[in-house]
Copies of this chain bind each other. A is one copy, B any other.
Amino acid sequence: MSRPKIAILGAGYGGIMTATRLTKELGMNEAEITLVNKHNYHYQTTWLHEPAAGTLHHDRTRMSIKDVIDTNRINFVQDTVVSIDDANKTVKLENGELTYDYLVIGLGFESETFGIPGVKDYAFNIRSVDTVRKIKEHIEYQFASYNNEDNPSEGMLNIVVAGAGFTGIEFIGEMADRIPELCADFDVPREKVRLICAEAAPTVLPGFDEELVEYAVNLLERKGVEFMLGTPIKEVTEDSVILEEEEIKADTIVWTTGIRGNSIVENSGFETMRGRIKVESDLRAPGKDHVFIVGDCALIINEEINRPYPPTAQIAIQQSFTVARNLKTLINNGKLEAFVPEIKGTVASLGKGEAIGKVGNKKLYGATASAMKKIIDNRYLYLLGGIPLVVKKGKLKLF
């Protein structure tokens, strides 16, 4: 008797945790599990603002997939997904093809450019290990070049972060810490450097508690960050961002205005909203009884406020538990469970030893919030790889 084939596309939070959970839910002979990923490593998307700023080595944010999955149970294929042909239950890869009975799509996000000219060509993204180490090295090159110029260009050391959402603010917090170090290392006066946050909305961190937001803005301003709120960007050029009424010269522009689902999903014929599939309550794609979506490609509405849940690691991880159980049920012909997100808390880091957050109804600031952020990060490592992974990759210095 041949075992049903489960293919998991993407080894981000949702994908790798689904794979791991499946080995716990399913018996050895219940299914053949294949995990496909572009890289041979899994990385912590929610930590990427740190290697982007250069405050943490990128290796600290990634781990070999073979080290965290059970390779006796899961067949790992390192390849890039090109398209999904669900009619024929086939995935086209760059170097091959894969057939499946059940599919889990966890292909992650792309940066949302809103069609603004120049973003794709000139702005950096905080999306992967590859994109963030490029940001770090670019910024260091700018600093290293400065004293070689007789007349440095106006924007040479200016960094504009487009977007004051979670990723933007966390990156700014790290960068504000990093700039004085870069100035010392490369003999650059601090006043030659600008760190600007340009946001179209009138506030930072939409949805966050107002008091916490005020704390964050004050703290970051004290660290030298300039906020330009209610300031939509019209265009990005090689060396500037163009606003409604002015142009800011900047050789480093980091784009963090939001995300959309991986375009492979849309291009494969799934119906999407900003690249995300509005999933059924059991996390299946509408009309597809054998296709589950996890993570940033899944759109779930928060009925209380009639708006989508933000695409977070927390939700992706919770989804993986549901998907693994539902796959087990599906294979055994039972009734699938509905996914109910449980928002345990949200903490945004603001650089070394500083953060803001809410856990339950409790507001957290400063060192306490920062420690809580690290506990959350370590908790995920524990779920994925147990104590050994926490020891190896965890943030063990809480204060």
Residues of A at under 8 Å CB distance from B? 39, 59, 130-131, 133-134, 136-138, 140-141, 143-145, 147-148, 185-187
Contact = CB atoms under 8 A, between A and B. Distances in A.
B145 A134 contact: yes
24 contacts: A39-B187, A59-B185, A130-B144, A130-B147, A130-B148, A130-B187, A131-B148, A133-B144, A133-B186, A134-B141, A134-B145, A134-B148, A136-B144, A137-B137, A137-B140, A137-B141, A137-B143, A137-B144, A137-B145, A138-B141, A138-B144, A140-B140, A140-B141, A141-B141
Contacts of A138: 141, 144
Contacts of A39: 187
Task: Rank and list the top 6 A-B pairs by shortest CB-CB distance, nearest first.
Answer: A137-B144, A137-B141, A130-B147, A133-B144, A134-B144, A141-B141
A144 B136 CA distance: 9
Contacts of A137: 137, 140-141, 143-145
Contacts of A134: 141, 144-145, 148
Contacts of A187: 39, 130
Contacts of A140: 137, 140-141
A76 to B, nearest CB: 17
Contacts of A59: 185
Contacts of A148: 130-131, 134
A131 B147 CA distance: 8
A99 B192 CA distance: 33
Given A134-B144, A137-B137, A141-B141, 5 more contacts: A134-B141, A137-B140, A137-B141, A137-B144, A138-B141
Contacts of A141: 134, 137-138, 140-141
Nearest to A41: B187
Nearest to A131: B148
Nearest to A133: B144
A350 B162 CA distance: 46
A187 B134 CA distance: 13
A41 to B, nearest CB: 9
Contacts of A133: 144, 186
Contacts of A145: 134, 137
A185 B59 CA distance: 8
A187 B78 CA distance: 14
- Among A59, A133, A136, A145, residue most surrounded by chain B Cβ atoms (within 10 Å): A133
Nearest to A184: B59
A89 to B, nearest CB: 28
Contacts of A144: 130, 133-134, 136-138
Contacts of A147: 130
A279 to B, nearest CB: 30
A148 B127 CA distance: 11
Contacts of A186: 133
A185 B185 CA distance: 21
A185 B143 CA distance: 21
Nearest to A144: B137
A141 B186 CA distance: 16
A59 to B, nearest CB: 8
A134 B137 CA distance: 11
